[in-house]
């Protein structure tokens, strides 16, 4: 989509009825959107999948596109080898985004999912986050981002060889990390994972039901008290 070379007639919305968009195997694609989309464009999009588009640039989803995706529920990005981060640093103000499920797989150069500071409206409704085979990622999100994950229920982190912690340092003063609705932690193949948060062992997950950690030899599952109202099932190996 490019509104800089051809201005839409009378600012007519683009793809206003589209609900599902899969962008796959476009090896030379560098950007999904150039220029400002007219209001109402992609307003009904529910699912966006980007697969094997190696040369997409930073950020993968710029603000001029994201702010039109107010009804987006599912976002999956796989096999993008050039981008270092997914979301840019722009503030979306009062814009509300309904994203519930985010899946990132095989992003070889990814160093940060969110480039701080970011528009936290992106993740206020996020329920499921899956990150796999992102070998340059050292943490999943910062402390500041974690404060917005009030709806997160499931977190899967797999085969990220450099990941050292789940929650990285942020700009604010750390008081307490609380993930009130998180029910399931799944960790697989994280040889460098040593903690949830550096220098802080207090993390409250009052809804936690299960924690699985396989091939995470440095992760001390037995030392954490999640303050859960449930009896937490912990499986390691």
Q: Does 149 fall in a domain?
A: no
Q: Does 235 fall in a domain?
A: yes
- pLDDT tens across 181-228, in order? 999 999 999 999 998 887 655 789 999 999 999 999 998 877 678 889
- pLDDT of residue 92 exceeding 70, the answer is no
pLDDT of 83 reads: 85
Q: What distance in Å separates the CA atoms of residue 28 and residue 41, rounded to the nearest whole number?
A: 24
- pLDDT of residue 118 exceeding 60, the answer is no
pLDDT of 173 reads: 64
Clarify whether residues 24 and 94 are in a common domain. Answer: yes
* Range in 73-82, 94-103, 126-135 the model is least confident about: 94-103
Clarify whether residues 122 and 15 are in a common domain. Answer: yes
Provide the strand spans (E) within 100-219.
Answer: 101-105, 112-114, 128-132, 141-142, 154-158, 165-168, 177-178, 184-188, 195-197, 203-204, 210-214
Partner residues linked to 83 by β-bridges: none
pTM of the model: 0.90
Q: Which alpha helices (DSSP H) does 92-193 contain, by range?
A: 143-146
> Number of structural domains, the chain?
2
Question: Which residue among 80, 107, 126 closes a domain?
Answer: 126
Count of CB atoms within 10 A of residue 163's CB? Answer: 26
Domain interval for residue 22: 1-126
Q: Given phi > 0 = left and psi -120 to 50 = alpha, else beta, which region is 15?
A: left
């Amino acid at each position: 989509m490019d509104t800089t070379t051809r201005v839409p007639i009378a600012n007519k919305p683009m793809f206003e009825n589209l609900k599902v968009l899969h962008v796959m195997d476009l090896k030379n694609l560098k950007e999904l959107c150039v220029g400002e989309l007219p209001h109402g464009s992609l307003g009904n999009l529910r699912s966006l999948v980007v697969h094997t588009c190696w040369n997409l640039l930073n950020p993968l989803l710029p603000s001029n596109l994201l702010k039109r995706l107010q009804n987006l529920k599912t976002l999956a990005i796989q096999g993008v080898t050039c981008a270092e981060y997914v979301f840019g640093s722009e503030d979306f103000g009062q814009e509300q985004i309904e994203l519930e499920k985010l899946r990132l797989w095989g992003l070889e150069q990814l160093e940060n999912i969110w480039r701080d500071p970011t528009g936290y409206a992106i993740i206020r409704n996020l329920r499921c986050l899956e990150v796999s085979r992102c070998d340059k990622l050292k943490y999943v999100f910062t402390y500041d981002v974690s404060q917005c994950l009030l709806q997160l229920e499931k977190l899967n982190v797999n085969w990220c060889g450099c990941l050292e912690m789940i929650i990285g340092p942020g700009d604010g003063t750390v008081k307490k990390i609380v993930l009130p609705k998180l029910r399931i932690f799944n960790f697989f193949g994280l040889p460098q994972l040593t903690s949830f948060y550096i220098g802080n062992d207090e993390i409250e997950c009052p809804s936690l039901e299960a924690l699985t950690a396989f091939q995470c030899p440095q992760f001390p599952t037995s030392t954490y008290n999640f303050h859960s109202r449930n009896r937490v099932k912990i499986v390691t190996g």
